[in-house]
Each structure stands twice: as structure tokens, then as C-alpha cells.
Amino acid sequence: MSNFLVTGGAGFIGGNFLNLMVKKYPADRFVCLDALTYAGHTETLAPVWREKNFSFVRGDICDREGVFRLFEKEAFDYVVHFAAESHVDRSIADPSVFLRTNVMGTQVLLDACRKYGIRRFHHISTDEVYGDLPLKGGRAFTEESPLKPSSPYSASKASADLLVLAYFRTYGLPVTLSRCSNNYGAYQHPEKLIPLSISRLLRGEKVPIYGTGENVRDWLYVEDHCLAVDSIVRGGRDGEIYNIGGRCEKTNIEVVRTLIRALGKDDSSLQFVADRPGHDRRYAIDPKKIERQLGFSPQTDFSDGIRKTLEWYEKNGDWLSALCKTGEEREC
């Protein structure tokens, strides 16, 4: 039996991770630590809320005393660290909270791991730390690509990555780190492209598209990402970085047109808006290392993933409209 701390588990990816892992590993215990910011919702954890091997603690990862108390009480074996401020536009409007949570919060967790001991600290990062690539050309980021973040968000994630690797080198803390591409699936906040488009289309409104919509992203179904993280946590090598990609590059406009078509609408649902400052052109991940070393490859292709995602949002209109009502929906 192992005891897991999962930070940020009331958010999109952490919530999907817990909903899968709590049921997959009934002999392990999972404690979710989440501050419930605008991005965290306990409803996301409804599928596991009553499970015996799950518990929830509301708390801030930057609260050193609170985090240390929790480590002392729980004697965690593993930490899987999802908690972060995660939206690029918010980081452009106000970078401060991104530095506090993403950098200082990560440091608090690393210090707690050093003090109380741990079998593994797994840090969730992003392909955005590598910066962007030209729109044309087949290059992709490997784990050795230089860090060239463009936004305050990606700069804060890159800083945290360096700190995690420094704790491995300096203190021998057993860490692993993964950098994934754009996730999509159930429970994603409607400030991000796919749920924003779905919620607008379901309400008969137009979908805002930055610039000409030619920016390219690699898309990864969230449950595939969670399985990849699970394989690293249990089988990865200390001190190593793993890229996780979907082998699924698409322009933003292609993604939105897929949703428009699936909902029986046409291009009159598109609304082009001024581009985001410093907007990254193309992200592309080379996922060969995790494929070769851990035998991981995504199971869900884009058309299947989009179908499941649409079905989920159509069935869970209450979850979506509760967020839209609180004014949390923003342009992506």
C-alpha cells in the first residue's frame, strides 16, 4: 500500500487523474490537496468523493506550515504535483500569482519532501517551457531542447522545472518531471479553447479565434495523459524528464471547425479577434522517449476523444453553466 499526495486534484487534469487512479489502485491511498481557486471544483471529484481510499484537504501549497503538518501526519510515499496557475491570458494580465504558486509553491513541496522523505516527487510541467516553433517544418521538441518560455505562465513553469531538477542534483531528491502538450476532455474549465468553444456553440453564440487561427497545438486526451503520468510515477527513472504528446498536431481553427461540424453549425459561428501578445506559433512534442522507455502511447485518437468530450459537456451542462454564470468564462 502506498500513500499518494496529489496537488491540484480539484482542477482539470488532477481531477481526471484522481478519478482514474483511486479506482484503479484500491489498495493505495490518495490525498488531494487543493486551494480551490477559481479553477478548482470539488464536483470534479464526485466520482471518488466517497471512496475509502480518497480524502480531500483544502489548503494552499504555498502555506509552508500547513504543508509540513500534512506531510508529518500522512507520511506520503509519492507526490504528484499538478497544482498551478495554468492560464496564459491570466498570466499576461497579472504574473504575480503565477510566480507565487508555480515557483514558490513548488519549492515548499520540495522542501517538505526533503524533510519528511519520499519515494518519488513527480512534477507536471508543460511543452510551453520550450517556447514555440515555426508554423512550417517538421521539427519537434525533445527533452533536450532548450527552455525558451514566451509567457509569464511558461516562464514560471520553466523556473519550477529547474528547481525540481536542482533538488535532484543538489539533494538527491528522487524526482521525475513530465512535459505534456495541450490536454482536452471532461471537466476542463471553459476558459480554454475546446470547452470555451463547446459552451459558446451550445448556447448558439460565436467562438472567438485569436488572429487567423493558424497556431498549431498538439492535442492529448486527458485520460491518456493521466495514464502516462501513472507510468512515470511507478516506472520512470529518477532525475529524468519525459515529454508526453498526442502525436496529433492541429491548428486552432481546425479544432474549432471540428466542433462546429459535430454540432451541426457552420463558419458563421466563428469570430476572429485580436491576437494574444507573444502568441506561440506552434508546439510539437517528440514523445519517443516515453514510448521507448515506458511503452506508453496514447490510446484515444482525436475524433474519439472529441466525441467523448462533447458528449460529456452536453450531459453536464450544469457543471459548465455554473462556471459561466460566475463570470469565469474568458476568451481563449
Ligand X SMILES: NC(=O)c1ccc[n+]([C@@H]2O[C@H](COP(=O)([O-])OP(=O)(O)OC[C@H]3O[C@@H](n4cnc5c(N)ncnc54)[C@H](O)[C@@H]3O)[C@@H](O)[C@H]2O)c1
Catalytic residues: 127-128, 153
d(CA 159, CA 32): 24
Q: Is 134 left (phi over 0), alpha (psi -120 to 50) or beta?
A: beta
Nearest distance in Å: CB 238, ligand X: 20
Q: Which three cell numbers stand for residue 184?
A: 482536452
- Cβ atoms of residues 36 and 44 within 8 Å: no
Of 214, 223, 279, the closest CA to residue 250 belongs to 214
Contact positions vs ligand X (CB under 6 A): 7-8, 10-14, 34-37, 39-40, 60-62, 82-86, 101, 105, 124, 126, 157, 180, 182-183, 189
Minimal CB distance to ligand X: which residue? Answer: 11
Q: What gap in Å lies between CA 281 and CA 134, rounded to an integer?
A: 6
CB 185 to ligand X: min, Å: 10
* Cα 274 from Cα 248, distance rounded (Å): 26
Q: Which is nearer to ligand X, 130 or 269 (CB)?
A: 130
Spatial distance between the Cα atoms of 89 and 128, rounded to a whole number of angstroms: 14
Q: Can you tell me which residue has the cell 508543460?
A: 126
Give the cell for residue 326: 460566475
Q: How far is the CB of 262 from ligand X (least distance, A)?
A: 20
CB of 194 to ligand X, least distance (A): 9
Of 33 and 269, the one with the shorter C-beta distance to ligand X is: 33
- Closest CB to ligand X among 37 and 297? 37
Cβ closest to ligand X, residue 12 vs residue 167? 12
Q: Is the dihedral of CA 260, 249, 294, 112 positive or negative?
A: negative
